[in-house]
Amino acid sequence: MAEADMVFVNTEYGKDYVRLLHVRREGPLHHTREIEVNTTLTLACQKDYTHADNSDIIATDTQKNTVYILAKQRGIHNIETFALILSNHFLDKYRHVTRVHIHIKEAPWRRMEVKGRPHNHAFISTNDGTRFCDVAHKRYETPVVSAGITDLKLMKTTQSAFTNFIRDEYCSLPEMNDRVFCTIVTAKWQYSRSAGFCFDRAWEVVKSSILEEFGGPSDTGVFSPSVQHTLYLTIKTAMAKVQEIDLMEIELPNVHAYNVDYTKFPALNFKGSVNEVFMPVDKPSGNIKATLARAKKAKL
């Protein structure tokens, strides 16, 4: 194919999986964040592809070192702010960079408590969701900041149902008025601005909204007629509490748990047993996903 018959749709390159542990020491009280950074740059021309001319290339090793150097110089207050620091640096320092994408994932460390008191310098790794963020920044444009949570595994053992769906010759699923509801939440949301509010607080509010709509009050719970409805209420609650969110996406795979069939053991009597036994099955699984955005208000 002739060169004139082809056009570049996109070019980008960068450094993935740049890991670092940041510790800020304020006397005896220490703060820590462990992060993994991906940097991606788009250049103004493609001569490195078309003419093997590397004179515009910012080596991926340079990008890696930039992450370490800026972490040392500027610290890491939160991952969104650090992603903005990185994107601004690449655009300011290299005039031929036209677009920067920064993705950061944060390891879930939490301050340890000993005898009810927060520890000054000891931390424990938790498995209650991984925080991440993305900054997409084009030259001469306002950066777009997104945040999210993944690997948040939730389960409730009642107050979940799924009924009144289409039943035809292809359907074998029974209607369920009370079932185990288990899912692994992936949520991502986009902020309407990149400054002037607290990213940490916004993330915590969204996470608490997810837990609130899934579990409900601790003593009574909340009824879920479907995964779809719970997903919708979660986004609605989060966006009502965090006005800076203008778009939010949630993905909820339905991790099934089926009743063990004890009719295979007719000689055994399980009548009156308070024990229920299920077989968790992660594949195949249903997967429910939706994205909601704030409706644009009509101008008067």
**DSSP states of 27-44:** TTEEEEEEEEEEEEEEES
Query: Measuring CA to CA, which residue among 94, 46, 108 is closest to residue 66?
Result: 94
* CB distance 4 to 50 below 8 Å: no
* CB distance 294 to 246 below 8 Å: yes
Preceding omega of 225 cis (within 30 degrees of 0): no
Question: What tokens were used for 120?
Answer: 């000054």
**H helices of the chain, where?**
47-50, 60-74, 79-93, 199-215, 227-241
Q: How is residue 108 annotated by DSSP?
A: -
Q: b/e for 189-219, b at 16 or more Cβ within 10 A?
A: bbbeebeeeebeebbeebbebbebbbebeee
Active site residues: 15, 60, 256
* CB distance 175 to 162 below 8 Å: yes
What phi and psi values does residue 154 have, to the nearest 5 degrees?
A: -125, 150
Other C-beta atoms closer than 10 Å to the C-beta of 43 total: 19
Q: In what order do the strands lie in the sheet with 29-43?
A: 13-26, 29-43, 97-106, 130-138, 144-156, 181-191, 245-259, 278-293
